[in-house]
Structure 1
C-alpha cells in the first residue's frame, strides 16, 4: 500500500474555457488538463498523475489536508493506494495521452468508512469549452469506457507506519478530520472489494483464465532490487506508481524471453490493467516477480498477462497485477 505524490496545480483557464478545477457537487470534481512531458510516456508517469488527482479530489471533497494528514496520535497518515484499475480501448488507451493533449477529467469519490475511500475518474480526450459533463452512471462506468475515454478506479486506505524506520506492516490509521460521510455511497454491486479479494487469493484478476485463454508461457520469474534513486517517494515509502514499472520491467523480460522485439513491446496497447497492493517494502528489499502469459483462444493478438510480486526473502505477497494487452504477433517476427 503506497501513498501518492504532491498534486499538480493546473494552469488558470483561458477565456471561454471551462475552469481548470471545479467542485460540481459533494462527491464530484472536474478538471481541464493539458498533458505535459512529465505526465506521459511508456512508463508510470501518467498513472502517477492520476494518483495525484485522486489525492486532490479527496482533499477537496473531504476538507482534509491529504498532504500533511495526521492520525489520532499525531503521526503522519498517508492515503495509500490499495487497488488501481485503468481501462481504455484499442483507439484510446493508457499510453495514448501525449504532449499538449487536452483532457477533461470527471472525478467522483465514494464513502467507504473512516479508513477507506474509492475515487473513480472518467478521462476524456476531448474538452468542450464550458459544457457540463454527462452525469456519472455507475452501470455505464463499469461496462467500460466510451471511445476516446479512460475509466480509472483508485481504492485507497489511510495508513501509518508502525515503526519510524520501517515500511513493513503499515497499520490502518485515519485522520480525525477526514470528513467522509458527506460523500455518496456506492451501490454494493460495484464495490472493488470482492474483485481485489479474489485476485489476492487466485493471483490473477481474470475470473476464469482457462476458459477463454490458452497458456503461452508460465513459470517465468525475475528479480528486482529496490532502486533508492528512483523508487521511493518523498516520505521514504516505495512510490505507488513504481509498482507499475516493476510489473512492466518483468513483463518486458518475459517478452524478450519469448523472442519478441522491443518495438513490438512499445506498440502494445494495454486496454485494461488492474493492480492490488498488498504491502510496501523497505529500501533494501528485493522482489521475486513471476509472469504468466495467456493468449485469447479466439484471437492470438489479445493476451492476458498476470504478474505476481513477492518479497524474495520472506516470500510475502507484495502485489498482484493483470494486464489485458492487444498487439500484432506479426510485429514480433
Structure 2
C-alpha cells in the first residue's frame, strides 16, 4: 500500500463543540462543514472568501461542486448531538482547473487529534469512529444580475492556489463528477434496480432554501434530498421511526446547476441493490433533482439495511 501524506502547512486542526444549531435530522451539520471549508480556504490562500470579486467586478462565490460524507454504524452524519466535542483536521489540495479539494477528518477521539493525514484513509473510510468528508469547490459568478441560472466559472482577481499541493490523480473526485454529469448517476456499476421508483414535485421555498446572497444554499439540496427520501421511504411501507434511525454510511452529492426562487423542481428517487462489494446487504438510493430537462443535483446514499447492521 502506498501512503500519501499532505504537507503539514495545509493541514488545519480545530476543536468544535456541537451546539443545537449544528445537529439533528436536517442539513445543519452539513452547513457547518461548508463553513469550515470556506474558513480553511480563506486561511490557506489568504483571501476573504465572503467578500471577493472577479476581474469584471462581479461578486465571486466559492461554490460546492461535489460533496461526499462517509461514516459507519457508530458514527455517521446524524450521530453528532448536543455537547459532543469533535476534533476536525482539514487538508486542502488544488486540482486542475483552479478547483480546491478539501478533506475533513472529523473525530470523536481527541487522543488522535492532529496525527498524520493519510489519503488512503479517505478511500477506505476504515475508522468507524470518524467521519470522512470531501468537498470540491470552484469559484462562480452570476452571468445576469438577479438570476441563479447560467452561473459562470470566474476566479477572484486576488485568488492563488500556489500554496496548495496538487491532489494525486488517483485520489481526485473529478472522474466521479464527470460520470455524474454524463450518466446522471453515482451508484455502483454492479447494482440491480430494487422496487418501484418515485417522482415528486418540490417548490423552492424562499423562506428556507436560499442563502444570504439569494442562491439556493448548497446544504438545502441535502434537505430536499432527505425530503424526497422520506416520501420514498413511506412508499416502501417503512415507518418514520425507522427513517430517523437510518444509517447512511456514504452520501455523495454532485452539484450541476443552481435554480431561481419559486421554481418547482422534480425529484426522481430509485433504489438499487449491490451485487458485489464490502456491504452486500446495503441499499443505494439515488435522488436526481431537475428543473425541467436541466439536472440540478445527482445524489446517492448508501443505507445500511437491517441485515447489515
TM-score range, shorter chain: over 0.9
Q: Secondary structure at the match of 1:154?
A: strand
Residue matched to 2:159: 178
Matched, 1:230 2:213: no
Aligned-pair distance for 1:204? 1.9
Query: Residue 303 in 1 paired to residue 286 in 2?
Result: no
Task: Extract unaligned runs of 5+ from structure 1.
Answer: 1-23
User: Is residue 142–residue 152 contact of structure 2 (8 Å, CA) maintained in 1?
Assistant: yes
CA deviation string 1:155-204 (max 9, x = no partner): 00100000111000000111121121110111111111001111222222
Q: Aligned pairs, how many?
A: 301
> CA separation in 2, counterparts of 1:137 and 1:301?
28
Q: Secondary structure at the match of 1:59?
A: helix
CA apart distance, 1:216: 2.2
Give the distance between the partners of 1:209 and 1:55, measured in 2 at CA. Answer: 36
Q: Is the 8 A contact 1:267 1:327 kept in 2?
A: no
Q: Say if 2:120 is the partner of 1:143.
A: no
2:180 corresponds to 1:202: no
**2-side partners of 1:69 and 1:54: how far apart?**
16
The one-character-per-residue Cα deviations of 1:270-291 (angstroms, maximum 9, x if unpaired) are: 1000000000000021111100
Indicate the RMSD between aligned Cα atoms, in angstroms.
2.0
Do 1:145 and 1:151's aligned partners in 2 also have CA atoms closer than 8 Å? no
SS of alignment partner, residue 50 of structure 2:
helix
Q: CA deviation at 1:327?
A: 3.5
1:195–1:187 distance in 2 versus 1, CA, 3 Å: same
- TM-score, length-scaled by structure 2: 0.92
Say which is worse superposed, 132-141 or 162-171, in terms of deviation. 132-141
Query: TM-score, normalised to structure 1's length?
Result: 0.86
Gaps spanning 5+ residues in structure 2: where?
A: 1-6
Q: Distance in 1 between matches of 2:58 and 2:214?
A: 15
| Whole-Å separation in 1 of the counterparts to 2:240 and 2:88 | 32
Query: What is residue 154 of structure 1 aligned with on the other side?
Result: 135
Aligned pair in 2 of structure 1 residues 218, 209: CA closer, same or farther (>3 Å)? farther
Q: State the distance in 2 between where 1:306 and 1:154 align.
A: 19
Bigger Cα displacement from structure 2, 50-59 vs 119-128: 119-128
Match of 2:244 among 263, 266, 270: 266
The DSSP-based 3-state class of the residue aligned with 1:159 is: strand
